[in-house]
Chains A and B, each alone.
Chain A
Amino acid sequence: MTLDDLTRTSGEWLRGTGPESDIVMCSRIRLARNLADFPFTNRGSRTEKTEIESHFRSAISAANLELLYFDVNSLSSLDRQFLVERQIISRELSGSEGPRGVAISSQENVAIMVNEEDHLRIQYMLSGFRLHEVWDEINSLDDQLEENLAFAYNPSLGYLTACPTNVGTGIRVGVMLHLPGLVQTKQIDKVFRALQKINLAVRGLYGEGSQAFGDFYQISNQQTLGKSEQELIRILTDVVPQVLQYERQARQTLVTERRQHLHDQVSRAYGVLKTAQTISSEETMLLLSSVRMGINLGLIDDLSVATVNELFIQTQPAFLQKLRGSELGVEERNVARASYLRSRLANGRMATGE
């Protein structure tokens, strides 16, 4: 499989399956790990980073892990952006320099970044609300890597990381939620403030600095020291159901108090996406969000959530350009985006790529 083959498939985490998948797009855990006998990435020489890359690649083959490695240093900026859009690499890894890469599994559940802020950033994602399963998978992956790699660790501070905000477990436990109901009923800020009070971070679809996008929000822990992985997962599995309940109540309010308005909004959104000749990324996200909620409320019945989930990613700039096989300016992308949406949404076609 090559990077270009990825344009014909999509990650498992977009399938729209698993518990609570009407709201929980996916569950994700990442672990920060460093090799004990190398300086952290920001202080590593080119040679050292190359050595880290080769130690990592030996460790994945020794553990018989079926992962595909991309040498990010040799990828074009379009290809790097393409991996960022798919949530496979961070903007930071895409934008940095020197030897670095990412190993992914064919279903894209696993993505291990090499020479990001930490030597290894191990990520595991599953569609729906399944944090315990994600933990079992990533914990075993971490063990398999550790068979052949000496991780920086000390008994009192745990796994040692380049930034003290990640030290200890090195874990970030997160869920990606679709919250259009709370956005439309203007209750989202209240929910965020409550989450921040209990030390949970809220971010947009594309991570830390970026704005929330298509009404998707990631909720994750910030504390990594002094609580075990299980405790940190438990905080999320306790809190997320409450957020889901608020979102369902908000949607119910919209249905009972503004049914016609809501139905109109959803139908118009679907109509525009099916027929537009040119459309911006922002408008696409906004309309896809309405359509996604419409499907979950039974207002649209000829379209799957999986297709809509995929379209959030597949209408991004780099994906469209990879699909066309050439670089496109903003205007050309808007035309390509509209054309792609029309082809995917014609006759309520079902999701592809399973």
Chain B
Amino acid sequence: MICQRCKNEASVHLTERQGGKRHELHLCMACAKKAGLALPESPPNLALDSVVQSLIVANVGELVGELAELACPDCGIKFMEFRAEGRLGCPQDYRVFGRGLLPLLQRVHGATRHVGKGARKRPGAIQRLRLRSQLREAIAREDYEEAARLRDQLRLKDTHV
């Protein structure tokens, strides 16, 4: 069956009843998504995601008041957003949200300390992460002079050669 909005193959088939009348809708996944009608695709890591979600809720319950307002100065994500989405915003979040994350790590992994391969030391990464977030803010408020200055600074400090 062909999508009613474009010529791709329809994979979303909906039947609606309105005032006793039956409407059928056949759409491809892309058009269905545009129309906000697509079923959520089965999330990757389904089991893990739900585990994480329930653990987050179970383990940070009493911290919510304090943690709710906590935001990462580098990427701007709030702990509450992590709680809802299950994904962190930047590497610094592990430090910023440490208190909220440790009980979760303990439950998911049965451990809170890394054992295994170590990365080589790369000084300056945090500084660059901060410069990048300042750059984003400068662009957002259309301060292009400041943005250009920050970009130059970033270029000087680049360690990815």
A: residues with CB less than 8 A from B are 34-40, 42-43, 45, 48, 55, 58-59, 62, 77, 90-92, 95, 117, 139, 142, 146, 148-160, 162-165, 167-169, 171, 201, 207-210, 222-231, 327, 329-330
Enumerate the 4 nearest inter-chain pairs by beta-carbon distance, A residue then B residue, closest first.
A226-B111, A158-B114, A36-B125, A209-B42
Q: Are B132 and A40 in contact (CB under 8 A)?
A: no
Partner of A92, one of B44, B90, B133: B44
Which residues of the other chain, A, contact B91 by a CB distance below 8 angstroms?
34, 36, 40, 152, 154, 160
Which residues of the other chain, B, contact A160 by a CB distance below 8 angstroms?
91, 94
Q: Are B160 and A59 in contact (CB under 8 A)?
A: yes
| A–B pairs, 19, beta carbons within 8 Å | A37-B126, A37-B132, A38-B132, A39-B132, A62-B161, A91-B41, A92-B44, A155-B114, A156-B112, A156-B113, A160-B94, A162-B88, A163-B45, A164-B88, A168-B111, A209-B41, A224-B109, A227-B111, A228-B117
Which residues of the other chain, A, contact B117 by a CB distance below 8 angstroms?
139, 142, 158-159, 169, 228-229
Decide yes or no whether B43 CB sits under 8 A from chain A. yes
Q: How far is the CA of A224 from the CA of B42 in the complex (A)?
A: 23
Q: Are B44 and A43 in contact (CB under 8 A)?
A: no
Interface size class, chain B = 35 or more
Q: How far is the CA of A226 from the CA of B94 in the complex (A)?
A: 16
Residues facing A in B87-139 (CB within 8 A) are 87-91, 94-95, 101, 104-105, 108-120, 122, 124-126, 128-129, 132-133, 136
Q: Are B114 and A169 in contact (CB under 8 A)?
A: yes
Nearest chain B CB to A147 CB, angstrom units: 9
Which residues of the other chain, A, contact B73 by a CB distance below 8 angstroms?
none
